[in-house]
Amino acid sequence: MLAGTSEIEKAAEVLRAGGLVAIPTETVYGLAANAEDPQAVGRIFETKGRPPSHPLIVHIGSAAQLGDWAEDVSATAQLLADRFWPGPLTLVLRRGRRVPLEATGGLETVAVRVPDHPVALELLKTFGGAVAAPSANRFGSVSPTTAEHVRTELGDDVDFVLDGGPCGVGVESTIVDLTGEHPTILRPGGVTREDLEAALGYPLAVPATSEVRVPGQHPSHYAPRARVVLVEPEKIPTEVELARDAGHRVGVLLPPVLSGTAIDAQAIVPVPDSLDAYARGLFRYLRELDEQGCDLIIASLPAEQGLGLAIANRLRRAAGPRG
Ligand code: TXA
Ligand code: MG
């Protein structure tokens, strides 16, 4: 059942008492705590099993509040906030005084965004402050896009789950660092590079390995239990056969160009033609293939334009070396 006013009030109470609330956003579900309460923020790291040096995103209720949580808000920052908030864009700026170092992993910068979800916005309004929230999954695993995913993964470790239905975007926010000389995309996400460049009027740098400037990055992230292997679309049928012969229970994310091709695998998810639909479904597909007992997932990268950039980034990270 979708959260109504009484659930939202309860969730705000839990936040005030230093508890953890799973919140729906348009991207993925977040594991939220009062951003100004270092102890509550500490519980986020414990619950996720995330190293405390990994900074969190501070979620605020409106662009008008930005100055309370960040310093030196430039004209560029204001332009992006006005254009894309509420929405799947996170801005990295100088840390404002209200943000404790616990939330930024000790950094003097802070990542801030206004989520575009009615339940999250209502909660932020009722609560009155800001919430620090990473994705509501255990460290390194696939981000949750439904309340059920959160309950299954975190169980009683989270004090309250606000159900806002399935997330509409399905991949995390785009992170843009505004603390350097030029804006830089640290993580591709729900706002496309093309949209950002159109708003700014100039091309943006995307580091070859994105998030390199983010401390404590691990190659494998967004990973299901099954190992993920990326191959060219035309090689999928042969790769599946080889893996099956080697005794693997193979799951396939079948790209649109192969739709209709007969493939003998443990489980097949036909990837939608539209990148919006693919992004919305991606993390759910990975979870479903795990649930169907696959130990190997074979997939191809979409063209890296529009949301394809974020989808390819998550697939590469899912296929990265495991620690
Ligand atoms: O869509 C999203 O962004 C979701 C929802 C819940 O809002 N949140 C999310 O949080 O993806 P998380 O913790 O899974 O990812 C946060 C990312 C990390 O890569 C972290 O390193 C980066 O934000 N980050 C946070 N603060 C930063 C900072 N000060 N400088 C650079 N990167 C930062
Ligand atoms: Mg995450």
- Please, what is the average pLDDT of the chain? 95
CA of 323 from ligand 1 middle (Å) equals 20
Residue 269: HSE in the Cβ half-sphere, 13 Å Cα cutoff: 24
Atom of ligand 1 nearest to the CA of 189: 1
Separation between Cα atoms, residue 74 and residue 115, nearest integer Å = 21
Ligand 1 pocket list (CB less than 6 A)? 25, 27-28, 30, 54-57, 88, 90, 92, 104, 107, 109-111, 115, 133-135, 172-173, 175, 186-187, 211, 214
Residues 294-316: what's their mean pLDDT? 97
Mean pLDDT over 54-65 rounds to 97
- The structure tokens listed for 213 are 């400037």
What is the pLDDT, as a whole number, of residue 1?
Answer: 75
This prediction's pTM: 0.96
Task: Render pLDDT for 220-230 as a digit per residue (tens, 0 to 9).
Answer: 788 999 999 99
Q: Work out the average pLDDT over 216-242.
A: 88
Contact at 8 Å (CB) between 85 and 63? yes
> Which residue lies with its CA nearest to atom 31 of ligand 1?
214
Could you tell me the CA-to-CA distances from 183 to 21, 171, 224, 285, 307 in Å, in that order?
Answer: 32, 21, 32, 33, 19
Is the pLDDT assigned to residue 217 strictly greater than 90? no
pLDDT at 43 > cutoff 60: yes
Q: Which pLDDT band, with edges at 50, 70 and 90, does 322 fall under?
A: confident
Q: What is the mean pLDDT of residues 122-137?
A: 98
Least confident of 46-60, 115-129, 200-214, 240-254: 200-214
Q: For tokens 């460049």, name the residue.
A: 197
Query: Which of the four pLDDT bands, split at 50, 70 and 90, describes residue 305?
Result: very high
Domains, the chain, ordered by start: 5-200 (3.90.870.10), 227-318 (3.40.50.11030)
Give the distance (Å) from ligand 1 centre to CA of residue 111.
7
Residue 172 Cα: closest atom of ligand 1: 1
Instruction: Answer yes or no: are the C-beta atoms of 115 and 26 closer than 8 Å.
Output: yes
Q: What's the one-letter identity of residue 309?
A: L
Whether 209 has a pLDDT exceeding 80, the answer reads: no
241-288 pLDDT, tens digit per residue, is: 999 999 999 999 999 999 989 999 999 999 999 999 999 999 999 999
pLDDT surpasses 50 at 205: yes
Q: Three-state DSSP class for 239?
A: helix
**Model confidence at 309: pLDDT above 50:** yes
pLDDT score of 211: 47
Residue 213 has pLDDT above 50, yes or no: no
Pairing mode, if any, of strands 57-59 and 131-132? antiparallel
